[in-house]
Homo-oligomer: A and B are copies of this chain.
C-alpha cells in the first residue's frame, strides 16, 4: 500500500513542468543518449587499455550477443547490435583472427554463417562480464527501477514513431 506522502511525492515530481516544448525535450533526450553511450564506450575502453587487451568495444558488443545466445548468424547479430551486415563481416573477421569465435556454415540453410564462441572466447567472457555488469551497476546506481522502465518505454515509443514514419516514406 502506498502512503499519502508517497502519492504526494509522485504527483509533485510529475507536476514540476519544464518550460520547453516537447520537441526541444526530444532533442535534448537525443543528445543525452549520445553522451551516455559515449561514457559507456569510454568506460569499457579504459578497462581494455588498462589490461592491454587486443579487442575493441565493437567486438565486445558482438561477443556479448553470443554470450547471451551462441550459434546465431551474422544477420541476427547485426539486428541485435543495430549495425549493417557488412559491418558484421568486418567485425566477425577480426574476432575469428583473434580466435574468439568460429564461423560454421549452417547445414540446414547454407546461406547462414553460424557464429560460435571458442574456448578463448569463453575466457574473455569470464574476464569481461564482471566489468560490463559493474559498468551498468554504476550507471544505474541510485535510480529507481521503475524510472528506468519508464525511460525505456519513452525511448521505445520514439523509435516506433520514427519507424512508422519511415514506413510511410517508403510507400510514398
Contacts of A114-141 to chain B: CB distance below 8 A: 133, 135-141
Question: How big is chain A's contact interface, by range?
Answer: 35 or more
Given A29-B151, A82-B31, A150-B147, A163 and B23 touching (CB < 8 A)?
A: no
* Interface flag for A105 (CB, 8 Å): no
C-alpha spacing A152/B145, complex, angstroms: 15
Specify which chain B residues have a CB less than 8 angstroms from the CB of A155 in the assembled complex: 29, 32-33, 35-36, 151
C-alpha spacing A159/B143, complex, angstroms: 12
A10 touches B17 (CB 8 A): no
**What is the count of identical protomers in the complex?**
2
Binds B, one of A40-48, A85-93, A95-103: A40-48
Q: Which residue of B lies closest to A168 (CB)?
A: B138
A158 touches B135 (CB 8 A): no
Specify which chain B residues have a CB less than 8 angstroms from the CB of A37 in the assembled complex: 30, 33-34, 37
B10 touches A136 (CB 8 A): no
* Interface flag for A165 (CB, 8 Å): yes
Specify which chain B residues have a CB less than 8 angstroms from the CB of A149 in the assembled complex: 17-18, 25
B152 touches A29 (CB 8 A): yes
Contacts of A10-61 to chain B: CB distance below 8 A: 10-11, 13-15, 17-18, 21-40, 42-43, 46, 50
